[in-house]
Amino acid sequence: MSDSKKNSKQHLRSKFGWFMRRQESSIIIASVLYIIFVTCINPGFLSPDNIFNVLRSTGFTLITVIGMALVLITGGLDLSVGSVLALGGVITGMVCQAGLPVGAAILAGLLIGCLIGCINGFIIVKAGIPPLIVTLGMQYAARGLVSVLTQGVPIYPLPQSLMNIEQTRIFHIPMVVIVALLIAFIGHIILSKAPFGRAVFALGGNEEAARISGINTRQTKFLVYVVTSTLAALAGVFMAARLGSAEAAAGNGYELTVICGAIIGGISTFGGMGSIIGATIGALFMEILTNSLTLMRVSVYWQNLVVGVILVLAVLLDQYKRQMILRNSIKSKA
């Protein structure tokens, strides 16, 4: 065998090894195999219209997945994002119907999300209550507030200028997808390059060690909840613009989809590990899964079962990866 062929094979092996060591490798392989499987069953899955629908739906999920990734990396959890999505849309709709400009309505929707994030972060940081309990309580509180404000009746109609925001296309790409990708890009840069990103990873890896090293762990923990709730409210604004009405039932089960997408994308449930790229692919996979099951006419009840099983499997895979990393580090030190 010639030297050039040997070098070529070695180069391919090194590239393959680099890819397999990436946190995102598992979800990329799983997504490709699943797309091939679904296409064999229903070739219409890869039709331009269906791809457009998948990308559009992914945009709504991805906006909040970015925030949830930050929370999970710090070792936290936010179960209130679905209710915040609904509340953000409702507040935006109410301000629009009050006759105020669309810009003011959108700002009001984002501010209510920011306020809820501040409340979550303040209680978690100051009172030391576990995030699971705080955000679960906020989930019910925000959903109750939505019910009080709407009495279960959708806020309709909304101004055409608001709906035009979601209906705008740039190179045939929906605005929500462009905004979601922009947020993902900013999140990736912050996590990989900025001091705040290093603080997020340090907090999730070992909070006490991060505090001793000079990182303001309380501020970091507070900010990730503010960012997540604000992004959830933004998704609610886009959802209201898409539907042309603010629905009281919007966001039901949304938190499961967001958390599942982040975890499937390689965000560790134990904190300290993950990437925005993986979370983005995880959000895409969740929408591919939902869309494909609908195309195959799988009952919505079975769809919930599938999502639940995938979430458990993703957590088991995360646990397995952490054990492998720990074993490799022990061997390298020995």
Q: Which residues pair with 173 in a beta bridge?
A: 170
Check: CB of residue 288 under 8 Å from CB of residue 282.
no
Q: Establish if 237 belongs to a structural domain.
A: yes
Rounded Cα–Cα distance for residues 59 and 54 (Å):
9
Q: Which domain holds residue 160?
A: 45-252
Residue that is written with structure tokens 């195959």 in the block: 296
DSSP structure class, residue 125: I
Q: Establish if 334 belongs to a structural domain.
A: no
Q: Establish if 319 belongs to a structural domain.
A: no
Check: CB of residue 280 under 8 Å from CB of residue 264.
no
Rounded Cα–Cα distance for residues 84 and 79 (Å):
10
Q: Give the count of domains, the chain.
A: 1
Q: Establish if 131 belongs to a structural domain.
A: yes
What is the percentage of the chain residues whose pLDDT exceeds 90? 48
pTM of the model: 0.89
Report pLDDT digits (tens) over 54-89.
999 999 999 999 999 999 999 999 999 999 999 999
Side chain identity at 328, as an amino acid letter? N
Report pLDDT digits (tens) over 170-184.
888 889 999 999 999
Q: Closest Cα partner for 174 from 312, 54, 266?
A: 54
Residue that is written with structure tokens 């603010």 in the block: 246
Report pLDDT digits (tens) over 33-43.
888 988 988 88
Q: What b/e sequence results for 96-128 when a residue is b if at least 16 CB atoms lie within 10 Å of its CB, and e otherwise?
A: beeeeebeebbbbbbebbbbbbbbbbebbbeee
Q: Establish if 219 belongs to a structural domain.
A: yes
Give the 3-state secondary structure percentages of the chain, helix then strand then coil, rounded to 5. Answer: 80, 0, 20
Q: Is the pLDDT of residue 293 over 90?
A: no
Q: Establish if 121 belongs to a structural domain.
A: yes
Tokens standing for 240? 């209201």
Average pLDDT, the chain: 87
Q: Establish if 111 belongs to a structural domain.
A: yes
- DSSP assignment of 207-245: HHHHHHTT--HHHHHHHHHHHHHHHHHHHHHHHHHHHTS
Compare 129 and 13 and report the one with higher pLDDT: 129
Rounded Cα–Cα distance for residues 115 and 37 (Å):
44
Cis peptide bond upstream of 157, omega within 30? yes
What is the percentage of the chain residues whose pLDDT exceeds 70? 89
Average pLDDT over residues 93-112: 94
Q: What is the pLDDT of residue 85?
A: 96
Q: Establish if 166 belongs to a structural domain.
A: yes
